[in-house]
């Protein structure tokens, strides 16, 4: 039988099921956004842009993006990505990360 250390218990206690679901959804959304951004810029910048987009997506947008896991992003998904990318908060994130403006 494996023992869970006290630090692991503290970390687990701090994560609500909602937070864990949000983190999983955001990871799934990243896997959808990254290939779209990779068609528009080099890999390093595409990863930074992906992070900015997913960080600035609402919970509903994350769910919508995550629905395209495992398939090529369609027109609606690329439109949603462009909408999130055009927000001032996302544009500020792009600037801070050295990503060219995406729209």
- Non-local (6+) Cβ contacts of 3 within 8 A are none
For the chain, which residues make up each domain, given as ranges? 25-97
The string of pLDDT tens digits covering residues 57-82 is 999 999 999 988 888 888 899 999 99
For residue 55, how far is the Cα from the chain centroid? 6
Q: Please state whether the predicted TM-score (pTM) of the whole model is above 0.85.
A: no
- In what helix (H) or strand (E) does residue 82 lie, and over which residues does it extend? helix 75-86
What integer pLDDT is reported at residue 19 of this predicted model?
72
Is the separation of the CB atoms in 10 and 26 below 8 Å?
no
């Amino acid at each position: 039988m494996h023992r869970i250390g006290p630090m692991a218990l503290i970390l687990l206690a701090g994560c609500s099921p909602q937070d864990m679901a949000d983190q999983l959804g955001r990871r799934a959304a990243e896997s959808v956004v990254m290939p779209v951004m990779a068609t528009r810029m080099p890999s390093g910048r595409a990863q930074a842009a992906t992070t900015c987009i997913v960080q600035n997506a609402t919970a509903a947008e994350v769910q919508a993006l995550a629905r395209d896991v495992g398939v090529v992003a369609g027109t609606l998904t690329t439109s949603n990505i462009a909408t999130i990318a055009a927000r001032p908060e996302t544009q500020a994130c792009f600037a801070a990360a050295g990503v060219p403006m995406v729209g």
